Structure 1
Amino acid sequence: MNTLTPSQSKKPPFRKLRGYSFDPALSLKIDTAPISTIVYKVRWEDIGDHEGCLKPGPVGEYVEVIDYDPTVKKFYTPVNLNDPYILAQDGLDPSESNPQFHQQMVYAVAMTTIQNFERALGRKVLWAPQRLAQVTGKRTPYEEYIAKLRIYPHALRDANAYYSPQKKSLLFGYFSSAPADETIQMPASLVFTCLSHDIIAHETTHAILDGMHRHYNEPTNPDVLAFHEAFSDIVALFQHFTFPEVLLSQIRKTRGDLTSENLLGQLAQQFGSAIGSYGSLRDALGEIDEETKKWKPKVPKASEYRTVMEPHARGSILVAAVFEAFTNIYKDRVSDLMRIASNGTGILAQGELPPDLVNRLASEAAKAADHVLQMCIRALDYCPPVDITFGDYLRAIITADSDLVADDSHNYRLVFIDAFRRRGIYPKGIKTLSVESLQFVAEPVLGPDAQNALNVIGEFLRGYRNEIMYEQDRKKIYEITKKHIASYTNMTKTGLHGQILEKLDNSFEFEQLTGLILDQDWKKLGVNPSGASSDDPSFQIQNLRLVSRVGPDGDQVNQIIFSLVQRSGVRMNDDGTFAGHYTPGVGEVPANGFEFRGGCTMIFDLEKAQLKYAITKPLLNTDKLAFQIREIDTGRVEQQYGYQNNDTMMGISDYSHYFGIGASDALNEPFAFLHSH
């Protein structure tokens, strides 16, 4: 009998790790104790000492858990998930008092979140690179690769947890509870944010989103920070539907009605009660009535989108819209099952639902939730790189789904439109509200010169695809991408940056398409030169990515996506009106001066090597461009300046005073303040 050695054996597809399904609070209640823990299935990371293996910490390919508690000035022993005894029992037992389990928990949830993103995006997740200080007069590297996101399970003694863009880290706090209802939670008991699935998934999503859109943590309009918060909540919420035991339990409890109160639509229950709330931290479906202390469903109000400015509260409007779209999709998918089970009356008989019906309802709920989550994640590639609004995101959802799924037989897209409409969320620049009008313009018509130039760039991008398509090493992906973006090598234009400068210099059509400027007028509009001795305008190319996705009908999408971002220095009058320009980075920032950004996401179809979409937030005034007059978009400038400097804007005034965010200051730790309680 031949026995295979470990090196000859087939590697397991995933590693099983036990953890809390929501947080430890569920384990203390009789009705929820059976579903309080689950087994996470995490993609297998190899055993050994070579690069790419999972090491004690855990330290793997994507994350590095460092367990230092500055309160007691102590490093906790890192957990070794490759220990045979730990492997044999699917990880350590869930425990509030064991730091090694805390390390296991953050690793399991962070990796689960990363896996969901990679499946939806069709590519590897890369963290935001670290910006490097620039030395005047020297050409120094602009950024450096970040291999691992650092996770600190016990980083602070505070009711807070946040993603740090500066440290490229997740920092989790712990604190003594002060519950409003002492029958729910013991007063002064320690609450660890690193034991909440929802908080870990939320913070990991912040980090992934920062790696995709680095300017989404700049409060240029009321929706930007709210979008960061809402999207992170959306990911955490829909990951609930990947927990089979929890899903079955809540289907039984609600008798298949997921619009009633249930755990699946709630976030961070233990954290919410520990800081003095009567329910979860946030609820996508309803809220606790302040008078009766009973849960009641939320009723959409279009006025809230016009008046609510605090980022979490505003973000909850978007979360509720997406969750309503999901519940309506779910209802449609199970309507035939409900008719069969009720003999056509629509009213189920008293008593528990039959197990077979519960299983079928749970299966449909899981499928619908997975589809909605993937729609939401894929849409990120179709968003403008700066100044996002909820309306932009709706258009991105519709366009991304139309690209991949030709036959919308379940009317998913219409359901999303209706949920946004009911909350008064409408995109700007469209005349009617329909699936067709919300889709971004595909294959824009250009003149022969601009079209030929873009076709040449399309062929260049095919070369990038050929070099990177089989690469699995994330650092090599980063390095190959950086090489293809490069602007100058020994003062010679190279890479995608050089292709754009060379082929589209002074192209009026390209300026109309992107809202960015390559014409000589850039010198008058507060745009930097691309180099100390360059006669070309500066702009950044961000997030050059190869995308390969397969839809439910087998349709395949092969695309290259990248963003162009350009900045202009603008000066404002004391009354908030546009005054003129200055050049960023040259001398001191003038009074009432700040950097204004425009950007364009460009999506190329690799089958045709042609531009398919140009999704823009113009730097230039597109109305004036129609007359070949190049002027900054002063309307958007004044709106942004007014928003950032208006103390009556609830939610931004305290934020700006805390960080000194005004027109000229850089953001420091935006999520630390947003998440403090």
Structure 2
Amino acid sequence: MAYYPVPPKRRLRVFAFDPSLTTQLDTVAINQLTLAVPWEAVEPGPVGEYLEIVDVDPASGAAYPPVDLNDPYLLAQDGLAPAEGDPRFHQQMLYAVAMLTIQRFEEALGRRVLWSVPRHAQAGLDRWQYVQRLRIYPHALREANAYYSPEKKALLFGYFNARPQQSALAMPGGLVFTCLSHDVIAHEVTHALLDGMHRRFAEPSNPDVLAFHEAFADLVALLQHFSYPEVLRHQLARTRGDLASQNLLGELAQEFGQAIGSHGALRDALGRRDPHTNTWQPVEPDPTALSRTSEPHARGSILVSAVFGAFLHIYQTRTADLLRIATAGTGILPAGALHPDLINRLAQEAASAARHVLRMCIRALDYCPPVDLTFGDYLRALVTADRDVVADDTLYYRVALIESFRRWGIYPEGVRNLSEESLLWQPPTAAEAAALTEALGDAAVLRGLCPDWGLSSNRRAVFEQAEKNQEKLQSGLFTPPHPAAVRALGLTIGPDVPGSFFASRTFTDYPTIEIHAVRPARRIGPGGEVRTDLVIVASQRRRGYFDPAIQHSVDHGQQAPPPADFIFRGGCTLLVDLDSGAVRYIIRKDVISEPRLAQQRQYLHQQWLPAMRGTYFGSRGDGKEEGLAEPFAMLHRHGAHS
């Protein structure tokens, strides 16, 4: 029998943006792409290693036949042709864009991704349940909404009748499918991927947490635009190389935004359209915007503008020599269309810069604290993670980010200035390092804890191995107890533990400590050198009360803990050098910090109505958390919808 090699990629056709651009002469030629996604064995659905698409429509009671991507006719023509009215194409597009987004994360992290564990799982042995596939429902909702469900481990996409402000933008009453928006798909998949790495980022302990979730999902969707050469060349030609002007690459979900009554795209990283004059104006950095903005989408847009603004500056720096050559040094482009060769070179530089910025954004996730993230923390994570890969920042990517964050008024806490050296996360003190080595073990022990977790690893085996390593580390902190090492993590098991802490089920004399993750962080430098760190993520929780008097009474053992009003968490991310066993960075949020507790109490009390608190961070106070199930369903339904 003849042997044929397995193809590396599966080619599938999709909309580059959404169906509406196919009905416009200016964009019809670029709105159909053929994506090359990693080849895998798939069943009709499609159902593969990471995803399971289930196409049922609860509103109508319909169940649509699943597409078979292995059908010879579909293989021969790169899948189904884009079609708004064919549910099988909806399934195909969801699979293709989701798999491409997953690939971006795996390339940046150097390991396969895992979905988060169920939220009802409790601390203790055998507490986690492996989730192999993220379920995707193309027609789950009959409303203008799409969201990621942490409870169901699923993406739910809606469809609705358009109600545009202007009939020229969309057909009034026409059906709009959110599952056909390239940006909405990438955005929602990113929510699921981020939740798989940091499941506590869905808990709004400060104004930045949910805003970061939305901003990061937008950034992934935006920067993916620059990986499509035909689209990139088209928009560069239309804008004459000026990516800071209005263009499709800086916009998200054009059809969705117009269909719900906006005058333009759902969100725009570059500018805003005046609803009264219907004119587009570029957005200018405003260092005061953060102080007066609390709604997660609006606040997240500030972070998006900061990162995207840095990308634009990098692009302008990388292309300055091309423009000098093209203009004989004047810097003024001649009238008329730009030469195709210049467009191609500009596109190469824009794609390269976007690819690097996207990888910076994803890699930084391994350098974030596991709880209570702020935009300033993320800036420090960006700078530190990139410094580990590219020590010599000759193209000034990090400087561009620092400057752009400053222009938008985003400052980290606890730093003396905005120099690169000040923003880097710090190693532990000598005493902390000694305590951690005693508790965690030397380099040989830590290398044994590093999961065999690469791009070709078996995901279930990785999950099971990581779970065992988490249990080993947890036991190592308690048998015998290492209070100094635990304090170095920003946690506590000391003799004066406040009464608001939850008792451990396994180590009953101590408060519980949760080891979230034990994973490798792999990075390949520009010279080809490979560096692998062990990332250890731990957290601890205690009961929080809106009445400070009750908090004081419980913490000092003057009364038994009543049901908590909210959960207060501390945690730490360690990056350990596997060659030496030394802890390189210790990134922590102190669980016994009274100022942090007071800040969270004030934020939750002022910003959230009592009826909404249970939806986002409710607890029964007995250690069995409730709420936290669908933080994105309500968040996406109100305001910007996605």
Question: TM range, normalised to the smaller chain?
Answer: over 0.9
Cα offset, 1:560, TM superposition: 0.8
| Aligned twin of 2:635 | 674
How far apart, CA to CA, are the structure 1 residues paired with 2:26 and 2:456? 48
Correspondence for 2:349 among 364, 367, 386: 364
How far apart, CA to CA, are the structure 2 residues paired with 1:427 and 1:655? 32
* Residues 298 and 455 of structure 1: CA distance in aligned 2, closer, same or farther (over 3 Å): same
Q: Which residue identity does 1:638 align to in structure 2?
A: A
The within-5 A match list for 1:319-358 is 319-358=304-343
Correspondence for 2:594 among 621, 628, 634: 634
Q: Which residue identity does 1:28 align to in structure 2?
A: T
| Aligned twin of 1:552 | 526
Give per-residue Cα distances to partners, 1:578-621, cap 9 Å, x unaligned: 5343699x99844x64321000001111121221111001112x
How far apart, CA to CA, are the structure 2 residues paired with 1:142 and 1:288? 49
| Aligned twin of 1:604 | 576
Contact 2:366/2:521 (<8 A) preserved: no
1:78 pairs with 2:34:
no
How far apart, CA to CA, are the structure 2 residues paired with 1:165 and 1:644? 21
How far apart, CA to CA, are the structure 1 residues paired with 2:252 and 2:434? 53
How far apart, CA to CA, are the structure 2 residues paired with 1:513 and 1:447? 6
| Aligned twin of 1:529 | 503
Correspondence for 1:450 among 423, 428, 435: 435
Cα offset, 1:498, TM superposition: 1.3
| Aligned twin of 1:518 | 493
How far apart, CA to CA, are the structure 2 residues paired with 1:157 and 1:653? 27
* Residues 662 and 307 of structure 1: CA distance in aligned 2, closer, same or farther (over 3 Å): farther
Contact 1:132/1:142 (<8 A) preserved: no
* Residues 215 and 658 of structure 1: CA distance in aligned 2, closer, same or farther (over 3 Å): closer
How far apart, CA to CA, are the structure 2 residues paired with 1:525 and 1:173? 45
How far apart, CA to CA, are the structure 2 residues paired with 1:356 and 1:251? 12
| Residue ranges of structure 2 left out of the alignment (5+ in a row) | 621-625
* Residues 528 and 216 of structure 1: CA distance in aligned 2, closer, same or farther (over 3 Å): same
How far apart, CA to CA, are the structure 2 residues paired with 1:433 and 1:582? 37
Cα offset, 1:456, TM superposition: 1.4
How far apart, CA to CA, are the structure 2 residues paired with 1:171 and 1:467? 33
How far apart, CA to CA, are the structure 1 residues paired with 2:79 and 2:423? 47
Correspondence for 2:475 among 498, 508, 514: 498
Counterpart of 1:421 in 2: which secondary structure?
Answer: helix
1:257 pairs with 2:213:
no
How far apart, CA to CA, are the structure 2 residues paired with 1:533 and 1:503? 11
| Aligned twin of 1:20 | 15
How far apart, CA to CA, are the structure 2 residues paired with 1:560 and 1:660? 31
The within-5 A match list for 1:167-186 is 167-186=152-171
Q: Which residue identity does 2:368 align to in structure 1?
A: C
Contact 1:572/1:580 (<8 A) preserved: no
The within-5 A match list for 1:363-442 is 363-442=348-427
* Residues 556 and 448 of structure 1: CA distance in aligned 2, closer, same or farther (over 3 Å): closer
Cα offset, 1:281, TM superposition: 0.1
How far apart, CA to CA, are the structure 2 residues paired with 1:378 and 1:133? 27
1:659 pairs with 2:633:
no
Q: Which residue identity does 2:388 align to in structure 1?
A: D
How far apart, CA to CA, are the structure 1 residues paired with 2:438 and 2:545? 35
Counterpart of 1:162 in 2: which secondary structure?
Answer: strand
How far apart, CA to CA, are the structure 2 residues paired with 1:86 and 1:389? 46
Q: Which residue identity does 1:617 align to in structure 2?
A: K
Give per-residue Cα distances to partners, 1:231-258, cap 9 Å, x unaligned: 0000000000111110000110111110
Counterpart of 2:534 in 1: which secondary structure?
Answer: strand
| Aligned twin of 1:623 | none
Q: Which residue identity does 2:458 align to in structure 1?
A: D
How far apart, CA to CA, are the structure 2 residues paired with 1:134 and 1:362? 49
How many residue pairs match? The answer is 632
Cα root mean square deviation, aligned: 2.3
Correspondence for 1:113 among 97, 101, 120: 101
How far apart, CA to CA, are the structure 2 residues paired with 1:291 and 1:185? 19
Q: Which residue identity does 1:220 align to in structure 2?
A: S
| Aligned twin of 1:268 | 253
Counterpart of 1:226 in 2: which secondary structure?
Answer: helix
Give per-residue Cα distances to partners, 1:119-166, cap 9 Å, x unaligned: 00111100001245669xxx7632200000000000010000000000
Q: Which residue identity does 2:477 align to in structure 1?
A: I
How far apart, CA to CA, are the structure 2 residues paired with 1:129 and 1:295? 43
How far apart, CA to CA, are the structure 2 residues paired with 1:431 and 1:411? 21
Counterpart of 2:457 in 1: which secondary structure?
Answer: coil
How far apart, CA to CA, are the structure 1 residues paired with 2:433 and 2:141? 59
Q: Which residue identity does 2:541 align to in structure 1?
A: R
| Aligned twin of 2:623 | none
1:581 pairs with 2:554:
yes
* Residues 344 and 160 of structure 1: CA distance in aligned 2, closer, same or farther (over 3 Å): same
| Aligned twin of 1:542 | 516
How far apart, CA to CA, are the structure 1 residues paired with 2:233 and 2:628? 44
Cα offset, 1:501, TM superposition: 2.2
| Aligned twin of 2:604 | 644
* Residues 162 and 589 of structure 1: CA distance in aligned 2, closer, same or farther (over 3 Å): farther
Counterpart of 2:325 in 1: which secondary structure?
Answer: helix
Identical columns (%): 49
